[in-house]
Structure formats: structure tokens, C-alpha cells
Amino acid sequence: MKEKKQPSEAAIINLLKLKFDSIGDDAAILPLTKTRSYVLTKDLLIEDIHFTVNQDAATLARKALEVNLSVLAAMGATPHSVLLGISLPSHYFDYINSFLTNFVWACKDHNITLIGGDTSRSSDKFFISMTTIGTILNKNIKYRHTAENGDLLYVAGCLGDAHIGLIASKNNKGLTRFARKYYSPKAKLAEGAWLGKQKAVTAMMDLSDGLYIHLKKICQSANLAAFVNLDGFSTSPEFKRACKYLQLDRITTQLIGGEDYGLLFSVQANKGPIIAKMFYKKFGYELQYIGKLGHGKGVQFIKNRKPIHLDLKPFTHFSESE
């Protein structure tokens, strides 16, 4: 008997791509003027997959918005407005009341207008579907496929902190500083807008699903390989202690831990150091150097200057390795 193939998120997107060549990045582009465009995200948050309603509604509302804004950040866009769809069982009124009130506050904090939405009953789960809309100068839009051979890879933000926070929180192990990273991420909008303006930055994504998955996506889109230098990964003593405490492998956590919402981007090789220096001066924290792009396929790891094989099983939404 033929075994039934289960779908991966990638398989479904590929299924769509086969027919449509306009999909490739996490956000969609709508022309606005000759020099400007709208950027649109589409993001689903599903109860018991992406969150539980044990989670405080106020925190969830803010996270739902930040997660979407993070995609705008990764394109280099400035937030403009939002469409909100919610579907919920009828006994959730208090929860949704708090969710909406806080969503409204979060929008105000970002100077975003809620321009439309839809509400519907669901039989048992709370579904959130959001489209955030940003604006950008066309020349500043960052895609994935535009990364080039020889470019250097950097990350703005932490790697693995949110994953530590999730695991700690699930197991009631404290580590609130990390838990906060998971429950209350902040979209790197200022960094995204600044990086968008840098011509030397050739491609950019946000780190929603973990570094490894996003590196694979950039490689696939740009038809290149990523050579990841694990020796250069910076790790704070606090992160090391947390990994030990939770019995997590440090490198694996940094590579596959999701929901950090930092920015992964590629820079023309000769401009890497100056971009890193300017970034530090502007934002007060160091970029993390990840490695570089070269000819080949997929993500390759280097430790002690030698290639090593890592057996990484990243989390995907369909819970299968790709």
C-alpha cells in the first residue's frame, strides 16, 4: 500500500508557486506610485498551535501585531494600517474584549489604523488572521532572492532566547527574562527601515521560524549555499546557563529556536564591517555574524574551521522534517 504523504508548509507553498510566480517573499507588494509601494503581510495565529488562551489576552494581542509588523520590518517597510479577522467560540467574550482593547492600544502605539476586518463564530478554537500594510520606497524593498554569491550573513537580534522562554514557561521553570522574549516580542521596525535604506544589504527576512529554516529559504530563493560559522556565534553566560538548566543543546537552540523575530540579512562582502559598525552606532547593540553565501546548495556548518554535519529537525507547522 502506498503511504500517504503528509503536507509540509513548504509543499503547499510550492504547490501554489507552481501556478503563480508572484509569490516568493513573506510579504506581498502592491504598486502605489512610481517610486513607492504598499507591502502586505498575511499571518495566521491559531489557538493551541501558536498560542493558548491560558495566555493573557493583552500580551497575545500585542504579540499578534508585533509578529505581523516583523514581516514589514524585514521588507524595510513602515507600518501604515491593519486588517484584523477573528473567529471565536461564543463563550470567549471576556477574553476577546480584553484582546481587542489591547490590540487597539498596540495599534495606537505604532500609529497604525485598523481599516477593516471580519469576525465569525468558530466551533471551538480562537483564530486570528491579520494583514498588516506598510509603505516603502521601491528602491529600499528587500527580497530574498536578491542575495548574491560572496555576501556576508548577519542577524540583528537574539538567537534562541524565545525558544528558551517557551520551554521554560511550558515547564514552569521561571527564566522570566527569556519568557518575556517569547511572549512579548518586538518587531525590529527601526532596524528594518534603516537596513532597507542600505544599498549594501542585498536580502532580508525576519526570524519567525528559527535561523536554520530562514537560511534554507534564502539559499533556495537565491540558488546559493550558506556557510555558517558556528565558532563565531556569540552566547551570553546567561544563555549558556539557561540551556544547561533546561538540558538544551546551545547551538541547536540557536539554530532552530523560533519566534525570535530578529532580522537575518545579507550584505555585500566588502561592506559588511562598515554596516556592522554603523548599525552598532545607531542601535547600540552588535550585529551577529553568521557566515557567508557561496556556490552550492543548502546550509552547511563550519566548526573549528572544518565542515560538520548537524542533524537538525526544525519545527515546521506540519510537524515534519523537510
Alpha-carbon distance of 291 to 211, in angstroms, equals: 12
Report how far residue 294's alpha carbon sits from residue 282's, in angstroms, rounded to the nearest whole number: 29
Q: Which of 41, 70, 252, 266 binds a second copy (CB under 8 A)?
A: 41
Residues paired with 78 in a beta bridge:
135
Transcribe 211-246 into DSSP letters.
HHHHHHHHHHHHT-EEEEEGGG----HHHHHHHHHH
Q: Is 114 in contact with 61 (CB distance < 8 Å)?
A: no
One residue of 58, 100, 137, 246 binding a second copy per CB under 8 A: 100
> Would you say 60 and 99 are in contact if contact means Cβ atoms under 8 Å apart?
yes
Report the alpha-carbon distance of residue 172 to residue 149 in Å, rounded.
45
Near a second copy by CB under 8 A: residue from 3, 6, 247, 284 = 6
Binding of a second copy at residue 191 (CB under 8 A)? no
Q: Please, where are the H alpha helices in the chain? A: 9-19, 57-75, 93-109, 161-170, 176-183, 189-197, 211-222, 237-246, 250-256, 272-283
Nearer to a second copy, 285 or 318 (CB): 318
State yes or no: residue 229 binds a second copy (CB under 8 A).
Answer: no
Q: Work out which of 32, 58, 230, 246 binds a second copy, going by CB under 8 A.
A: 32
163 grid coordinates: 525558544
Q: Applying CB under 8 A, which of residues 35, 120, 247, 304 lies at the interface with a second copy?
A: 120
Q: Please state the closest distance from residue 172 (CB atom) to a second copy, in A.
A: 23
Number of residues engaging a second copy in binding (CB under 8 A): 70
Of positions 53, 58, 125, 150, contacts a second copy by CB under 8 A: 125
Site residues (vs a second copy, CB under 8 A):
4-7, 9, 12-13, 15-16, 19-20, 22-23, 25-30, 32-33, 38, 40-44, 46-50, 80-81, 83-87, 90-93, 96-97, 100-101, 104, 107, 113-125, 127, 129, 131, 133, 317-320
